[in-house]
Structure 1
Amino acid sequence: MNNNILLESGTGEVEILEFIINDKYYAINIIKVKEVINANNLTKLPESHPAIAGLTLYRNKIITVIDLKYVLEKQHKSEIESTIILCQFNKIEVAFSIDNIVGVHRIKWDKITKPDDISTNSLVIGNIVLDNKIILLLDFEKIVTDISPSTGISENKMVDIDYKDRSNVKLVLADDSPLIRRLLKDTLIKAGFKNIKIFDDGKQVLDYLLKLVDKKNEKFIEDVNVLITDIEMPQMDGHTLTRKIKEHNILKRLPVILFSSLITNDLKHKGESVGADAQLSKPEIGELVACIDSFT
């Protein structure tokens, strides 16, 4: 997969890789995809999670392969040879077996609608209507975290953080995942934060901030001290949100922390190009608290 085709940051667009499982259409943000390969040498693991198809060897690395058909349909793939999407996020490399690749599409984030199911168990983060069909944008981080909780955000990652009274710090948090929003709120409260406003997409955050500026002008900073935002969100992504804030003559004072599974050494330039003040990869919740402290 040639990541040089990826878009400039903050354009409000995303490139998705569309694929098929059991004649249903799904998608992944292409920024997470390293390569698409065919594998016929999966090594089965004894007594492993039923969603784990096995291990494959990729460029002298052993990669865990997750059977998406089992995750979504509770059916195992019967074919010996599999099409595999090799991904990198949350500081891990992991692969997903699928049926077939359809292609790559460039679309606007504001054309991706939020799913009706807003429960923490949903594996869908957005619905895309394209060519008279519905494509489901999947929450791959949640899929992996459900199988291996240690790879995601959890309260036990707070063990090295000393509690202190941080109730004077006013945070705004944006993340489209109900699970991540809940875990982030719980862990930030355990660190001593009490004043946290939570939104589930970037457009909601920008609307809130612009209303604050209309009401209080430069004094908007009295109501919000730091913004923590995910990157991958329907309606408005975190890169676009950051760019709009940093291009605003008043809002540009607000420290913006990008907190996303998509923060890697290869992709940090995207956050830098839109003016992010800090970038941290999920699931490093401890580093997030230290970063907030550095701005307050």
Structure 2
Amino acid sequence: MAGILDSVNQRTQLVGQNRLELLLFRLIGSQRFGINVFKVREVMPCPRLTLLPGQDPFIKGVAHIRGQTISVIDLSKSTGGPEIIPDENSFVIIAEYNRSVQGFLVGGVERIVTLSWKDIMPPPEGAGKSSYLTAVTEIDKKMVSILDVEKILNEISPISTELSEDVVDASVGVDLGERVIMIADDSTVARNQVRRALEPLGLTMLLAKNGQDALDQLLAIEAECHTSITEKVALLISDIEMPEMDGYTLTAEIKNNDRLKAMPVILHTSLSGVFNNAMVAKVGAEDFIPKFHPDELATAVKKWLKKDELANNAN
């Protein structure tokens, strides 16, 4: 266990092309789950928790960790399972999502494994809209589930998608005409958050459930264009962590294709605290916006659509 704890900090500094490192853990029982190590700040035995009056029933309590007060979420109970009773096998995974730090109480922590995003698949079709799975994979001939943490956090503390009045500008969509923007994200909650935030700009949006789906759709649309994808798709907003193909690889594929590369790409991800900005430049993305601040995202979209419009007028 000491090896896992010591290696997390090192591994969060690594960014690979279309690969990820999963920290495997258990909730109740033998079923294994995984969380991207890039999200993890620290793993520790469950510390002493303090209950707060009126706290959400899914929050086990708060802990004071390295000078910071952190809410600890019962990851089993919050996904419809039985409550985790802290004992000597319980751990708290300290992770950063959407510009905030949370603790996730889990029943046990196993090890870190390295995988290709090609080995990470969308959840089964029968999982339904109420499922908390964002992806699945197989390790040691057993299924490992990757939870939709953004959905869990949004149910505990919903994120506002409203834009400030000075950011709202429906003329953006009017100027775009029949062209659309694409949103690629494996989390249904995250896709809908982006869609709702950008609706006041009057945009028509095309949705993709992961990087491979986005690339397939773009290539199909590009085949109908005369010169460039930007005739029909003005901008792509993409998550980074996605099954089958991550946002880094998707961006690299776009920028290496002469008929796709003119389309601006905004990487929009909850990988805020340990994000490697050098990777954005390496794959050629135009911008990076940490999740989730609707005004910042909308402002970036307006900026790149304006640059796109100026470029089209110049041509």
Shared fold by TM > 0.5?
Answer: yes
Counterpart position of 1:78:
85
Out of 164, 185, 196, the residue aligned to residue 170 of structure 2 is 164
Q: Aligned with 2:131: secondary structure?
A: coil
Matched, 1:40 2:50: no
Give, in angstroms, the shift of residue 234 of structure 1. 1.0
Counterpart position of 1:173:
183
Counterpart position of 1:28:
35
Instruction: State the one-letter code of the partner of 2:92.
Output: I
Query: Which ranges in structure 2 are unaligned for 5 or more consecutive residues?
Result: 1-7, 306-315
For residues 130 and 200 of structure 2, what CA distance do their matches in structure 1 show? 23
Answer whether contact 1:111 1:128 (CA < 8 A) is retained: yes
For residues 128 and 189 of structure 1, what CA distance do their matches in structure 2 show? 34
In 2 relative to 1, CA 290–137 (structure 1 residues): closer, same or farther, beyond 3 Å?
same
Counterpart position of 2:116:
108
Q: Aligned with 2:76: secondary structure?
A: helix
Give, in angstroms, the shift of residue 12 of structure 1. 1.4
Give, in angstroms, the shift of residue 269 of structure 1. 2.7
- Structure 1 runs of 4+ aligned residues shifted over 6 Å read none
Give, in angstroms, the shift of residue 291 of structure 1. 0.8
Question: What's the Cα RMSD here?
Answer: 2.0
Matched, 1:55 2:75: no
Instruction: State the one-letter code of the partner of 1:235.
Output: E
Matched, 1:204 2:213: yes
Counterpart position of 1:125:
134
What is the percentage of aligned positions where both structures have the same residue?
Answer: 30
For residues 50 and 193 of structure 2, what CA distance do their matches in structure 1 show? 34
Counterpart position of 2:73:
66
Instruction: State the one-letter code of the partner of 1:183.
Output: Q
Give, in angstroms, the shift of residue 7 of structure 1. 4.2
For residues 169 and 61 of structure 2, what CA distance do their matches in structure 1 show? 41
1:145-160 equivalences in 2 (<5 Å):
145-149=154-158, 152=159, 154-158=160-164, 160=166
Counterpart position of 2:100:
92
For residues 209-253 of structure 1, give each alpha carbon's deviation from its aligned partner in whole angstroms, at most 9, with x where no partner exists.
Answer: 223444435332111111111111111111110111122233221
Aligned residues: 291
The alignment's TM-score, normalised by the length of structure 1, stands at 0.90
Answer whether contact 1:39 1:56 (CA < 8 A) is retained: no
1:146-295 equivalences in 2 (<5 Å):
146-149=155-158, 152=159, 154-158=160-164, 160-167=166-173, 168-169=175-176, 170-193=180-203, 195-216=204-225, 218-264=227-273, 266-295=275-304
Answer whether contact 1:6 1:15 (CA < 8 A) is retained: no
The alignment's TM-score, normalised by the length of structure 2, stands at 0.85
Query: Which ranges in structure 1 are unaligned for 5 or more consecutive residues?
Result: none
For residues 211 and 21 of structure 1, what CA distance do their matches in structure 2 show? 42
